[in-house]
Amino acid sequence: MKVAVVVFPGTNCEVDTQYAYETLGHEVELVWHKNEALPAGVDLVVLPGGFSYGDYLRSAAIAKFSPIMKAVAAHAAKGGYVLGICNGFQMLLEMRLLPGAMKRNANVHFVSKFHHLKVENTTNQFLRHLTPGQIINVPIAHGEGNYFIDEAGLATLRANGQILLTYCDQEGMPKNPNGSVASIAGICNEAKNVFGLMPHPERAIEALLGSQDGRAMLEGFVA
């Protein structure tokens, strides 16, 4: 599989993401945000975590205007896979490739720790190796991870199986670290080829890192 990881000024998780996919045996190319085209033959585009453009104005609000984003949107429109992690999730919301918006954490503090997640839906390429109801433990690190969508939008997400992950405790009970509506940690689009989540699976692929739960998530895209 060929993976393109897009890099912006302020991105800080591109090397982690590259390492994760190379560890899984895949070809990875870092793509600068000023490029106007993706590499030929790309299977998956990853928008990694960080603070693109310093999160000035609001998180990811400027990144959506980078030249490469037209190519990312075109890739998604053709059915290509796109994964946004943390700041990358915020970009997908700003680009309207995913529904909803992101706000400052309810407690206004940056949170950085391992946090349990409940797998809500696996009828998609990303989480197909996991099981509905499964509890996993993956790092989170964000100050603006408070996902918001109105009641009608939330109903649509539920009806279409677009809610992928929710925050919980180790027993699977809701435990919300940032105030997100319905404790949502990750979603996908209706076509199920564009995925966004605030947690960092690329930081949980080896036991040395404290968890290998992210490995099965990243392997989901492999044909």
Catalytic positions are 86, 200, 202
d(CA 201, CA 154): 24
Closest CA to 69 of 42, 93, 34, 39: 34
Residue at token pair 């999160």: 55
d(CA 17, CA 53): 19
Contact 10, 54 (CB under 8 A): yes
Please tell me the total number of residues recorded for the chain in this structure.
223
Task: Give the CA angle between residues 139, 144, 86 to the nearest 5°.
Answer: 45
